[in-house]
Amino acid sequence: MSKNLLTVSDVEHYHKNGYLLNKRQLFSPEAFTALRSIFEEQLAHKGDKLSDELDTPHFRDERLLTYLLSEEVLDLVEQIIGPNIGLWSSHFICKDPYVGRATPWHEDSTYWRGRLDRYDKIVTVWLAIDRSNKENGCMRVIPGTHHNGFSEYVEVDGKQNLFSSQIKDVEDSEAVYLELEPGECSLHDSRIIHGAEPNKSIYRRCGYTMRYFSTEARVVPENNPGFRIWLARGKDIAGNSFCNVE
């Protein structure tokens, strides 16, 4: 195992609360600098997309697989969901100064409903590309809500928000803000209620989400046309169709 070992209390905190702050550098300085450069390239060639819409960038740039399938990340993930790990997805979520949109309260699993046959062992590693704090709209979570099942949603303005719906009647006062320095990361369960306020500061806020599932889950082919997944570590349990690692 690499330096990215969690303590017993870290793992217990994650399973109880649905999230964990890992306030250590995930990658070496050289590797992190190279990753930031890849992000800046993606941003420069985004075309008409908004800066927060750079979804599945590893489909377009396979250099990112070096990070997504790295020991540094997978050693963290294995301690949360076990040794048999599939790479589900990734996303550069960049909120520009002053105009970065809010991320409404949501559960990731809601937007993947029907695409997998279970959601209990899916974890997101949220890596801070920029400093992420309350001022520029860091992620916030409602602890313990990963045990609640799917929530009820209501419509919101899709121009002002990353999504066009949000969970109904969330108590903001219960939110925990996940503040990170560049290179640090948080982890959260796909079922936890989370979101972010808009970025009204002068500082950009970008994170790279790296998402993984236990291969005990089956990814439903007919509900994922054109989508690609990789076997990141261990063995396939549920009979999934994975891409080859070059």
pLDDT at site 126: 98
User: Is 145 a member of any domain?
Assistant: yes
* pLDDT tens for each residue of 109-140: 999 999 999 999 999 999 999 999 999 999 99
Query: Could you give the percent of the chain with pLDDT greater than 90?
Result: 84
User: Is 1 a member of any domain?
Assistant: no
Query: Could you give the percent of the chain with pLDDT greater than 70?
Result: 96
Number of domains in the chain: 1
Q: HSE on the CB side for 198, CA within 13 Å?
A: 12
pLDDT at site 195: 95
User: Is 115 a member of any domain?
Assistant: yes
* pLDDT tens for each residue of 92-116: 999 999 988 889 999 999 999 999 9
**Residue 79 in contact with residue 214, Cβ under 8 Å?**
no
Euclidean distance between CA atoms 27 and 2, whole angstroms: 11
| pLDDT interval class at 165 (50, 70, 90) | confident
> Domain range for residue 173?
8-233
pTM of the predicted protein model = 0.94
User: Is 241 a member of any domain?
Assistant: no
User: Is 26 a member of any domain?
Assistant: yes
User: Is 48 a member of any domain?
Assistant: yes
With 50 as the cut, is the pLDDT of residue 1 above it?
no
User: Is 103 a member of any domain?
Assistant: yes
The predicted model gives 2-28 an average pLDDT of: 93
For residue 64, the 8-state DSSP code is G
pLDDT at site 212: 98
pLDDT at site 161: 77
With 80 as the cut, is the pLDDT of residue 240 above it?
yes
With 70 as the cut, is the pLDDT of residue 145 above it?
yes
Task: Select from 151, 110, 128, 160 the least CA-distant residue to 39.
Answer: 128
Higher pLDDT: 45 or 8? It is 8
The predicted model gives 225-240 an average pLDDT of: 97
Domain of residue 195, CATH code? 2.60.120.620
Per residue in 116-153, is it b (16+ CB within 10 Å) or e — as a string?
beebebbbbbbbbbbbbbeebbbbbbbeebbeeeebeb
SS3 category, 221: helix
* pLDDT tens for each residue of 61-98: 999 999 999 999 999 999 999 999 999 999 999 999 99
| pLDDT interval class at 51 (50, 70, 90) | low
With 70 as the cut, is the pLDDT of residue 183 above it?
yes
User: Is 69 a member of any domain?
Assistant: yes
Residue type at 52 in one-letter notation: D
